[in-house]
Structure 1
Amino acid sequence: MAGKVCLVTGATSGIGYETALGLTRAGAQVGIVGRDPAKVERAIRAIGAAVPGAVLDPFVADLSAQAEIRRLAAAVLAAYPRLDVLVNNAGAIFDRREVTVDGIERTWALDHLGYVLLTLELLDRLKGSAPARIVNVASAAHLRGHVDFADLEGARSYGAIRAYSQAKLGNVLFTYALARRLAGSGVTVNALHPGVINTGFAKNTRGLLGFGWGLIRPFLRPPAEGAATSLHVATAPELAGVSGRYFSRCREEPSSPESRDEAVQERVWEASLRQIGRAVL
């Protein structure tokens, strides 16, 4: 990865941090994206200490807010004449329904639309840097997900797991729809399940969800293992040119039947672009 430039969202802790660390160890210049400036700086110091000579750049943004995503993209474009790898990793689960500054349910806004908007804002730079890769960190939770087009944002009925599973399904659907549009461009896009990992996921939730996650967290795999598939998809030479696939445990696996429905892919593509204020491509 020497000479490559990578951007990792949600890179201040957990899987995102380990992904950024792995890319840095492989020789890449890495942009560290996080919401908290202090945590971004802390991650850069830690990675710099672990990898002497590391080239790291801080970027701060709340990826649930579309104006902040656009500001982040502008900063990335100003900083990087080329971009070889984009890892969309940032995400969270919310036990209660919340609405963002854009008036969109927060799980869908952060976990799905954040991927869509940042990717499209940076897409021309990725194309200009081809061969380039887009890595969308989804989840096996998508297997239980269903896109409820009649209540996409849970306004009538909200459940944390249901909202999260739908957003992760959205990641996979977006990956497949984008892969078709990128055919022949030299830019690949793939989705993955990192595993069930001991991270800060669900740490801010309350009730049974927060209690249950707290009980099982000590028994989960460490973040470094969770980053393995992200690093594989981002760097493996044998995946050059491979696009529109879903990976788990560093190998290709089938995603859910709904995720492979091209009609659903296109409906989510169109709905997502409308929500971020872009013309349908």
Structure 2
Amino acid sequence: MSTKWTAADIPDQTGRVAVVTGANSGLGLVTARELARAGAEVVLACRDPKRGADAAAAVRAVAPAGKITPQRLDLASLVSVREFAELIGKEYDGLDLLVNNAGVMALPRRETVDGFEAQFGTNHLGHFALTGRLFEMLAARPNSRVVTVSSGLHRMGRIDFDDLQGAHGYRKWGAYGQSKLANLLFAFELDRRSDSVRSYAAHPGYAATNLQSTSAKASGRTLDRLVMTVGNALFAQPQDMGALPSLYAATYPDLPGASFVGPKGLFEQRGHPGVVHAAKPAYDQDVARRLWEVSEELTDVRFPVPSSTS
């Protein structure tokens, strides 16, 4: 596997249909753009329709022959997830790729419309429900893939089954770490359960995107904004590089299922993508099974796949 893999190495994606969440900006926009440039038909799943339309125009500017469709999706609403999946089911007879990219980071405690802590509800439960509702469309296509975007900060997370929603002693970074660890547990468990869809995880390293600025703005603290601004300027890699692990996981030929892809440079913070190792808790199959079962109960979404075994 090349240590210098770039978007120019993406195989021809003509005939493939991809959904990318959070595709209106940052890593999601780059991911959608490069998939479209390689020939894929791309659905830009975005919470804000106006920003989705602007993103679609930006993608068309570099992939004028591509079919780019913005659609509204709010991962913080299970109703929106269901409506989006129903729309995709009416428009397409199958789906080749789902990139679970959207996310929120280090927010003050707030709840989704369904009463979930916002980071766990959006980053994990929203994508869990979306994947489950689109799973049969993915299974209908050969060589289909799901890529779930985690973070190196999964290493600071733990799954607190006694307080998944952070109702007691909420810590915004701890909640973020839990949601990103949940992304990995879900991605690996999905691959264990499915014999028709390959599941992967990816992380961007430290990439300069609006995720940091949004987080800092939400905190209301000048120091947070300053730290994020300086960090992005001095240490972060460009978002085009940060999107490469997702693109690698989405398109690299014969990539083993349950691979975790990230930058191969110093501390996995920057550099070209390759297979990396997650923290040990991400591979705990007992925790993964329990999280899967809890997620089914919370979202009322069940995958047409068997339970995994040890």
> What is the TM-score with the length of structure 2 in the denominator?
0.86
- Number of aligned residue pairs: give it: 277
Q: Aligned to 2:34, which of 9, 12, 22?
A: 22
Q: Is the 8 A contact 2:133 2:301 kept in 1?
A: no
Q: How far apart are the structure 1 equivalents of 2:74 and 2:168?
A: 26
Deviation at 1:278, TM superposition (A): 3.4
Whether 2:194 is the aligned partner of 1:205: answer no
Whether 2:300 is the aligned partner of 1:277: answer yes
Could you tell me which amino acid in structure 2 is paired with residue 147 of structure 1?
I
Matching of residues 89-238 of structure 1 within 5 Å: 89-182=101-194, 184-185=195-196, 187-202=197-212, 203=214, 204-206=217-219, 207=221, 208-219=223-234, 220-238=236-254
Deviation at 1:215, TM superposition (A): 2.5
RMSD: 1.3
Deviation at 1:110, TM superposition (A): 0.3
Q: Is the 8 A contact 1:194 1:227 kept in 2?
A: yes
Q: How far apart are the structure 1 equivalents of 2:107 and 2:135?
A: 33
Cα deviation digits, residues 6-32 of structure 1 (max 9, x gap)? 000000000000000010011000000
Structure 2 partner of 1:259: 282
Q: How far apart are the structure 2 equivalents of 1:201 and 1:136?
A: 16
Q: How far apart are the structure 1 equivalents of 2:225 and 2:128?
A: 28
Q: How far apart are the structure 1 equivalents of 2:100 and 2:302?
A: 22
Structure 1 partner of 2:66: 54
| Percent of pairs with identical residues | 35
Cα deviation digits, residues 73-123 of structure 1 (max 9, x gap)? 111111111210000000011431001111111110001111100000000
Could you tell me which amino acid in structure 1 is paired with residue 167 of structure 2?
A
Q: Is the 8 A contact 2:146 2:198 kept in 1?
A: yes
Could you tell me which amino acid in structure 2 is paired with residue 194 of structure 1?
P
Q: How far apart are the structure 2 equivalents of 1:228 and 1:138?
A: 13
Cα deviation digits, residues 199-239 of structure 1 (max 9, x gap)? 11132322244442233122211111011111111111132
Q: How far apart are the structure 2 equivalents of 1:58 and 1:105?
A: 27
Q: How far apart are the structure 2 equivalents of 1:190 and 1:201?
A: 22
Matching of residues 68-79 of structure 1 within 5 Å: 68-79=80-91
- Bigger mean CA offset, 211-220 vs 144-153: 211-220
Deviation at 1:279, TM superposition (A): 5.1
Q: How far apart are the structure 2 equivalents of 1:60 and 1:213?
A: 29
Could you tell me which amino acid in structure 2 is paired with residue 223 of structure 1?
Q
Q: Is the 8 A contact 1:24 1:54 kept in 2?
A: yes
Structure 1 partner of 2:5: none
Q: Is the 8 A contact 1:64 1:106 kept in 2?
A: yes
Q: How far apart are the structure 1 equivalents of 2:298 and 2:229?
A: 34
Q: How far apart are the structure 2 equivalents of 1:36 and 1:137?
A: 20
Q: Is the 8 A contact 1:92 1:107 kept in 2?
A: yes
Q: Is the 8 A contact 1:100 1:106 kept in 2?
A: yes
Distance 1:101 1:194, change over 3 A: same
Could you tell me which amino acid in structure 2 is paired with residue 205 of structure 1?
A
Give the SS at the match of 1:218. Answer: helix
Structure 1 partner of 2:4: none
- Bigger mean CA offset, 228-237 vs 209-218: 209-218
- The runs of at least 4 consecutive aligned structure 1 residues that moved more than 3 Å come to 208-211, 278-281
Q: Aligned to 2:98, which of 74, 80, 86?
A: 86
Alignment gaps of 5+ in structure 2:
1-12, 264-272
Give the SS at the match of 1:125. Answer: helix
Cα deviation digits, residues 126-149 of structure 1 (max 9, x gap)? 001121000001111111111111
